[in-house]
């Protein structure tokens, strides 16, 4: 099913929901539909580079659905699902619009009755990990768990170091730190620099040893911050380093 979720700035965010026993699209007013059971749900987003989430068959998602999960794809600002303007509306200093979209999609799913916060897991890969990390800093009660793959998280540290691979070419997407307003925004956006001491949702991070675009030390640094400042049990936070890129 496809829905349009209201978000800040009078935007409506496309949301694709897959699974069994779904409410009809006419339930887009986010009220619980009769006969719909609350189930675990994986919330997927990317929101960068004007890329679009693939809604075709995915064996991983199919495996989850066969085990009683639902899968939701949030086509947040920064992606290209609604054209170039959708990308522009979520890049550089507009980046928090995509985070707000993600929060509204999470709340919409719960209001629709298909899941609840404790059963809702966020799933972000590479640049798509950043909006989830920012989201749980701002609203840790929205998600029940977080899965990040090869995450790009240290956005401020990366953008201020032109010696790193691709950094200068990434200014158009993330911001130019030589512009004071953009450097300040990058600092406020960076989840490693803005972690608030509170209970962080259980988190699993996997990364690649030789990935030059999202170096594995970013994931380790993020995990160290979580373990140092979260009131949750240390056993809730896991890391896996894989070989390759």
Q: How many structural domains does the chain have?
A: 1
To the nearest whole number, what is the mean pLDDT of the chain? 90
Query: What is the residue range of 103's domain?
Result: 2-242
Give the separation between CA 171 and CA 175, rounded to whole angstroms: 5
DSSP 175-230: --TTSHHHHHHHHHH-TTTS--SS-PPPEEEEEETT-SSS-HHHHHHHHHHHHHH-
What is the arithmetic mean of pLDDT over 154-161?
A: 93
What CATH number does residue 127 fall under? 3.40.50.1820
The pLDDT value given to residue 193 = 94
The pLDDT value given to residue 229 = 84
Strand partners, 213: none
**Tokens representing residue 225 in the block:** 């911050």
Confidence of residue 243 (pLDDT cuts 50, 70, 90): low
Write the pLDDT tens digit of every residue in 5-21: 999 999 999 999 999 88
Asked if residue 25 has pLDDT above 70, the reply is no
The pLDDT value given to residue 3 = 94
């Amino acid at each position: 099913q496809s829905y349009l979720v209201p978000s800040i700035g009078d935007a409506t965010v496309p949301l694709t929901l897959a699974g069994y026993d779904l409410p009809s699209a006419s339930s887009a007013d986010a009220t619980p539909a009769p006969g719909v059971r609350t189930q675990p749900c994986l919330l997927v987003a990317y929101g960068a580079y004007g890329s679009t989430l693939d809604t075709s068959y995915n064996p991983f998602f199919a495996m989850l659905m066969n085990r009683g999960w639902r899968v939701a794809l949030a086509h947040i600002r920064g992606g290209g699902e609604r054209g170039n303007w959708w990308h522009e509306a979520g890049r550089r200093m507009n980046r928090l619009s995509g985070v707000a979209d993600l929060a509204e999609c999470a709340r919409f799913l719960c209001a629709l009755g298909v899941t609840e916060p404790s059963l809702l897991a966020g799933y972000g890969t590479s640049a798509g990990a950043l909006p989830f990390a920012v989201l749980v800093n701002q609203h840790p009660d929205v998600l029940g768990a977080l899965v990040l793959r090869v995450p790009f998280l240290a956005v401020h540290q990366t953008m201020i170091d032109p010696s790193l691979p691709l950094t200068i070419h990434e200014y158009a997407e993330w911001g130019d730190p030589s512009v004071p307003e953009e450097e300040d925004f990058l600092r406020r956006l960076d989840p490693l620099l803005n972690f608030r001491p509170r209970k962080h949702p259980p988190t699993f991070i996997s990364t690649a040893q030789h990935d030059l675009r999202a170096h594995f030390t970013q994931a380790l640094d993020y995990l160290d911050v979580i373990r140092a400042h979260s009131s949750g049990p240390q056993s809730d936070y896991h890391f896996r380093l894989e070989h390759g890129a």
